[in-house]
Structures are given as structure tokens and as C-alpha cells.
Amino acid sequence: MHNLSKTALGAIAVASLAVALHIVLPGHAETANGFIRLLPEDAPFKAPLGLGPSQAVLYGDPSKPGIYVVRNRFPPGAHSNPHFHSQDRHATVIRGVWYTGVGEKIDFNKAVPLKAGSYMLHPANGVHWDGAGEEEVVVQIIGVGPVTTTPAGAPDPQDGNWPKPK
């Protein structure tokens, strides 16, 4: 048997895990003995269209089996249209006030504000919509993949612009 140190074995395990799980680690993330540290400003946010809501995959891969951790960032006034996910998702507000609602029709007057530190469960197949008011919002979501997101109901005519909360 080869004489590898525990540190070398740990580094090999972390590298193997990162490759196997497709962990997204920006240059400033620290890894040691299986631990991952990531500063908020180093989260690798990417917006599908280069603007609007963006997502950073911090751990795992939502499209593959296993646990994942993502952060979603909504710029001021941005929201999602009604949709649902194929698996439960656990959301915690990291920054800002996240406005949330349930059902296939957006009704901004029924949006429930959740401040930083708040938690919300999105049960599998539960139709919901959410977004930011006057300030940017960051929400961390933990789930088990693979997960899919499916639009529900008619798109909101305001398509992406959340009015100022009343």
C-alpha cells in the first residue's frame, strides 16, 4: 500500500468530490479537508440573459442526483412568474426582503414579505412566485436533485417588474 498522508488523501477526496458533484468554486473559495469556505462577494452569480435575476451554484448540481445549494439574486423590482419545482426546496433569505406568493396568478397585494433570516419551504409541485421589491434580494436554496422547474398559469403581463410594495 502506498504511503500517502492524511492531508494528501483529503486533497484527493476533495478534488474527486468536486469533479463528481460538479461543485462550482470560484478562485477565492477555500477548500481544506473537505471544508468549503466562500465569501458572499465571491459567489459565482450568472444571469441567463446577462441581466435580471441570477443564480450561483455553491455546491452540487441541481440537474443531477444529490444535494445542492444555490443562491438566487433578484435585482430591485424583478420577480419570477408562477412556477413549480419537481422536488422540495428549502429557501432562506440571505439579504433584503423577498416577496412571495402562491398560486397560478400573481397578486402583488397578497405577496408576503420575508426579511433576511426568514425561511420558506417550497413543497414539490407547489405553485409559487417571488421576487424583490425596492432592494436587491439574495435567497439561498437547498434541495435534492435532480430538480426541474415548470411554468404554471399565464405569464404576468408585467413580466419581471415588481411594483413597489404597498
DSSP single-letter state for residue 27: T
Q: Is pLDDT larger for residue 28 or for residue 55?
A: 55
* pLDDT tens digits for range 2-49: 444 433 333 333 333 333 334 445 544 667 788 999 999 999 999 988
What values do phi and psi take at 50, rounded to 5? 85, -10
Strand (E) or helix (H) holding 19: helix 6-21
Cell 478562485 locates to 27
Q: DSSP per residue over 111-122, as a string?
A: PEEE-TT-EEEE
Cell of 115: 426579511
**Nearest CA to 35 among 14, 21, 16, 15?**
14
